[in-house]
Amino acid sequence: MVIPAAGSGVRLGEPVPKAFVDLGGRTVLQRCVDGLATLDADVVVVVPADLVDAARTQLPDHVVVVAGGAHRSDSVRAGLGAAAHRDIVLVHDAARPFTPVAVFERVVDAVRSGHRAVVPGLPVADTLKQVVVASDGSGDCELVTRTVDRESLRAIQTPQGFTREALALAHADDSGLATDDAGLAERVGVPVHVVPGDPLAFKITTPWDLRIARDVVAEGDHPIHEGVTR
């Protein structure tokens, strides 16, 4: 499994890169790795180059740590270069530290059942509108051009699971960039299937997300805490 954790967390705005932000005495990255303890997985963590040594001291010895790149896709490729040769490879954001084990199991089961690329996703709850910059002098307002049919939309999470062949194909162009690995797979014609995600697999992206994450830790009521080393 590859854990991209080399982002800087611009939208979060903390003084340290997002994976190294404290969540109740453990970093985001440590909590993410803790949550994998019951899974049979070889773990490669990808961190900013100047934090490789720090990550090695903070993580269990069996975790391989490598330096990432400028974009998420570059970091994933760096991780793949150090990953064990498994038939199924998962890519999972460090920034989703509370992802329940059941989501990993759903993704892996779907790949085992014959799908080459599988992602967890949730229905979209909000009404979605497409906008353009208003050109009628209405100041900061944007102009709605249409309301999007949300019934066919899914908000996609990680872990994303692939056959080794499909993920290698997705990353064969080593300059390919996308916000997720499934996006690269789609581009090369790999069918991507969606299984149910979980609200606890939310990504810590903004200060609001960090606040929720700290509440989750303080309440200690999330399922991954059951039987998992904290």
Ligand X SMILES: C[C@](O)(CO)[C@H](O)COP(=O)(O)O
Ligand Y SMILES: Nc1ccn([C@@H]2O[C@H](COP(=O)(O)OP(=O)(O)OP(=O)(O)O)[C@@H](O)[C@H]2O)c(=O)n1
Binding site for ligand X (CB under 6 A): 93, 156-158, 179-180, 203, 205
The partner in contact with residue 30, picked from ligand Y, ligand X, none with C-beta cut-offs of 5 to 8 angstroms by kind, is none
> Binder to ligand Y among 1, 2, 7, 41 (CB under 6 A)?
7
Nearer to ligand Y, 78 or 117 (CB): 78
Q: How far apart are CA 55 and CA 177, in angstroms?
A: 25
Q: Is 205 in the site for ligand Y (CB under 6 A)?
A: yes
The partner in contact with residue 58, picked from ligand Y, ligand X, none with C-beta cut-offs of 5 to 8 angstroms by kind, is none
> Binder to ligand Y among 30, 58, 75, 160 (CB under 6 A)?
75
List phi, psi (to 5°) of 195. -115, 165
List the x/- string, 83-122, binding to ligand Y by CB under 6 A. ----------xxx---------------------------
Give me the least distance between CB of 54 and ligand X, in Å please: 22
Q: How far apart are CA 156 and CA 20, in angstroms?
A: 24
What are the residues whose beta carbons fall under 8 Å from the beta carbon of 204, sequence distance 6 or more? 12, 18, 21, 28, 95, 96, 97, 210, 213
What are the residues whose beta carbons fall under 8 Å from the beta carbon of 181, sequence distance 6 or more? 73, 76, 91, 160, 162, 167, 170, 171
